[in-house]
Amino acid sequence: MVNSLFNVKYQLTITAGVMLAMMGCTDNSTAIVDKTVGNLDSNNIIYSFEQDESLTAVKVVNASKSLQDNDGNKVLKIDFKSQANHESSVEFSSAKPWDWSEKGYFGLAFDITSPLVSSTHLYVSVTDSDGKTHNRSFVVPAQSSDSYVVELKGQYLNQEAGIRSNPDSWQDRYTPIIWRYGTKQINLAKVEKVTFKVIGVPEDKSLTFDNIQLVTPEATDNNYLVGLVDKFGQNAKINFENKISTVEQLIELSNQEQQALKNTTILGRSKFNGWIDGPKLKATGFYRVDKYQDKWTLIDPEGYLFYSNGLANVRMANTSTITGYDFDPNLIKQREPGDLTPEDSIGLNRAPKDAWSSRHVSSTLRADMFNWLPKYGEPMAEHFGYRREVHSGVIPKGETYSFYQANLARKYQTDDHLKIDEKWRETTLKRMQAWGFTSFGNWIDPNYYDMEEFPYFANGWIIGDFKTVSSGNDYWSPLPDPFDPKFKERAYSTVKQVASEVKNSPWCVGVFIDNEKSWGQMGNVESQYGIVISALSLEANSSPTKAKFTQILKDKYQTVNALNSAWQVDVASWKSFEQGVKLTDINDAMIKDFSTMLYVFGHKYFSVVNNAMDELMPNHLYMGVRFADWGMTPELRAAAADVVDVVSYNYYKEAINEDFWTFLEEIDRPSIIGEFHNGAVDSGLLNPGLIHAASQEDRGKKYTEYVNSAIDNPYFVGTHWFQYIDSPLTGRALDGENYNVGFVSVTDIPYQPLVDAAKKVNRNIYNRRFTNDK
């Protein structure tokens, strides 16, 4: 992410007084700085590494540190030992917390040089003395040297725009670092440490750091959110490869691609994309799992070995963005009782015609982002939609627009929705075949099911008015109470709906139900066992989970005195326990019981869904719930492994790092990656995604490394990239996600370097996995 505006270099000379600055005393330090740096004085220097003693305040974990000479200046070299360790980090701190509260608008800047032939994705956290963290991430390109900045105080920092990462408002030479999560306004009077991490990468990394300092912007852009989007949904403010300027250009590129997609064949594949040149095992007419050569594998309906490599989220549902307009709420159709489809999974859901006259601006901030929106009644207005609720954003509901769908209408030269969808599906299938993928992933437009041309996974959501339990970190929503009879009722309704869509088709590999539930986080007892601790605080007569946990403890301890003795608590009676207990001092006996109860909770959830699958869809694999790597515990993984056919994970890192995945051997079940991706900002989008690449070419390299690392692992039976289409520039309507993670852009143009990488990987999937031909 190197912009030519940021290539201005500067000279910085530090005296021995810099070490005093590191310790909080800066009266004797001096700095000679070129004016291009902006406002900077000696009080703003944090680290410069000109003295050997500077190493003492640098802490490393799974890494090594050393001072290196760089043309007469010393720099800090960090060797991240990340291949054998899931995390590797370097931490900068001071003898006492830094006080940056009086600095005005400023950021933390630093120089990083990479001698490597591959890019490095770094996570950076700034932590205050209260433990609150300000978290960002960025990519250091291969063989690069650049200056980066973390904005820590500014008028734009807390601007909620409904975009996961806003455009950069600073106008200077620093490369901005993408916001991730945490607290944007930490306590700047007590900054404790700055940490850089490398997580889940396929190789060791070496970088040099220098000139860690506080800087102020030379200028800021007050209109950084105004006029951001052109009529094609592209970034109007910058140029990039394959940027579309006319409809004629879009049509010509489409015609060229259609010619290239003719007569594509997949060599070495069975009817259902299994390995036709490999062994033929027992055929059941549907997909199943088995072990071959001590490796878990899927088996296709004809009995051939099958590895599922494909793209997820191939649908229109997430292509729309909030426009900043709304209608009279009394004229908007609300959700029906018993609705099985979450808001973000429905189609455009347009506002009814009788509501159009009530259209008004609900957010000037959002409305001003767009240089063009059609008028209702015009053909291009067919791509407006409406969201009755969102997960997060600047406004809680409102009008949406799908620039992607509008571009399909332009390129296919029709306003007929049915024809647009048909041509889109035909082109998508041709691409999947030409690019060598073996299947789709999760969240596929159900219209693909009936085509019976390409393997797919179906999905469903269990939503309803059943009771819930909190884990203490309910990112998407609280967890369902699986002991509530209403949950079972809704689970069966969901699977019944999926079964009606799949129609017992052999092209359906399996079914994912729900996604990324907040089961709990590793790190401390409270986060790992949040479900149990939270449930125990509830009343048993209103919480079926609490009633179940109470029964488990009664069966084990018999008397409340025995419970008190083990847990070191003072509960008056079982009746008192049933009314709710608040637990603070956690001991080993409690943890052992918490672990049992957490497993029982998870096992019940998966069993309810699995029973519905066995009864209503017995020929299809139950793929579980797709664990997020940040939201799972050993107990929940074990519960899933004991029930589901394939355990699924969403894992956003650069590769399958063995240090993190050692538990696969323990549970010994077929596993699948439900989501992974990477992206780059040379696409014109504002945010690369959860994993950053340096360019479109680098995206292809990282894709190859990730998929091959999964193919080489004996437990994985598939990898699903999220997602087929880039997120909207101004963020998807659900939550503002605005990532360059598609195989195609908003104008439906493929990213050729990524496509080429996928083709190469897909040609060799089966030979690599089963003959070790790498």
**pLDDT tens-digit readout, 96-108:** 999 999 988 999 9
Describe the strand order of the beta sheet including 456-460 as a list of residue ranges.
Answer: 456-460, 508-513, 621-622
Tens digit of each residue's pLDDT (9 = 90 or more) over 650-661: 999 999 988 999
Give the range with max mean pLDDT: 52-66, 72-86, 423-437.
Answer: 423-437
Pairing of strands 205-215, 73-80: antiparallel
The better pLDDT of the pair 657, 674 is held by 674
Assess whether the previous peptide bond of 256 is cis (omega < 30° from 0). no
Query: Chain centroid to CA 266: how far?
Result: 31
How many whole angstroms separate alpha carbon 440 and alpha carbon 449? 11
Question: Of the candidates 481, 490, 395, which has an alpha carbon nearest to the alpha carbon of residue 160?
Answer: 395
Query: pLDDT by residue (tens digit) across 530-582?
Result: 999 999 999 999 999 999 999 999 999 999 999 999 999 999 999 999 999 99
Both tokens of residue 476? 């998407």
pLDDT band at 42 (very low <50, low <70, confident <90, very high): low
Distance of alpha carbon 126 from alpha carbon 149, whole angstroms: 12
Residue type present at position 498: V
CA 283 from chain centre, in angstroms, equals 36
Task: Fill in the DSSP letter of residue 269.
Answer: B
Domain boundaries, the chain: 4-215, 321-401
Percentage above 70 pLDDT, the chain: 94
Exposure class string for 254-271: b at 16+ Cβ within 10 A, else e: beebeeebeeeebeebbe
Which residues does residue 523 pair with via DSSP β-bridges, in sequence order?
A: none
CATH fold of 4-215: Jelly Rolls (2.60.120)
Give the residue with greater pLDDT, 521 vs 398.
Answer: 398
User: pLDDT tens digits, residue range 125-181?
Assistant: 999 999 999 999 999 999 999 999 999 999 888 889 999 988 989 999 999 999 999
Q: Dihedrals φ, ψ of 650, to 5°? A: -100, 115
Q: Residue 500's pLDDT is what?
A: 97
| Dist CA 655 CA 652 (whole Å) | 8
The Cβ of residue 439 has, within 10 Å, a number of other Cβ atoms equal to: 25
The answer to whether the bond into 249 is cis (omega within 30° of 0) is no
Looking at residue 340, its pLDDT comes to: 78
User: Sign of the C-alpha dihedral, residues 472, 476, 478, 479?
Assistant: negative
The backbone torsions φ and ψ at residue 720, rounded to the nearest 5 degrees and listed phi first, read: -120, 115
Confidence check: pLDDT of 464 > 60: yes
CA 426 – CA 618 distance, rounded (Å): 30
DSSP secondary structure letter of residue 770: H
Q: How many whole angstroms separate alpha carbon 241 and alpha carbon 425? A: 25
CA separation (Å) from 359 to 332, 375, 405, 409, 731? 11, 11, 22, 24, 21
For residue 43, the model assigns a pLDDT of 64
Q: What's the mean pLDDT in 83-107?
A: 92
Tokens of 684: 């014109």
Nearest-CA neighbor of 431 among 411, 453, 403?
Answer: 453
pLDDT at residue 11, as a whole number: 27
Question: Following DSSP, what letter does each residue of 713-768 receive, concatenated?
Answer: STTEEEEEEE-SBPPPTT--TTT---B---SB-TT--B-HHHHHHHHHHHHTHHHH
Structure tokens at 320: 């729309």
**At 764, phi and psi to the nearest 5?**
-115, 15
Alpha-carbon distances, residue 586 vs 525, 533, 599, 641 (angstroms): 8, 10, 18, 28
- Distance between CA 370 and CA 37 in Å, rounded? 33
Q: Which residues pair with residue 298 across a beta bridge? A: 289, 306
Measured distance CA(716)–CA(706) in Å, rounded:
12
Mean pLDDT of 296-319: 97
Please check whether residue 435 is in contact with residue 763, taking contact to mean a CB–CB distance below 8 angstroms. no
Q: Which two tokens stand for residue 354?
A: 């009788």
Cβ–Cβ under 8 Å, residues 738 and 164: yes
- Contact of 398 with 324, CB cutoff 8 Å: yes
Instruction: Report the alpha-carbon distance of residue 348 to residue 164 in Å, rounded.
Output: 21
Structure tokens at 514: 């729900």
pLDDT above 60 (res 116): yes
Average of pLDDT values for 68-81? Answer: 91
pTM of full prediction above 0.85: yes
Neighbour-count burial for 452-462, b at 16+ CB within 10 Å, e otherwise: eebbbbbbbbb
Separation CA 103–CA 45 (nearest Å):
13
Q: Which of 136, 146, 124, 84 is nearest to 694 (CA)?
A: 146
Tell me which amino acid residue 225 is: L
Chain centroid to Cα 462, Å, comes to 21
Q: Which helix (H) or strand (E) holds 139?
A: strand 133-140
Distance CA 710, CA 718 (A): 8
**In this predicted structure, what is the pLDDT of residue 467?**
95
- Compute the distance between CA of residue 491 and CA of residue 20 in angstroms, rounded to an integer: 63
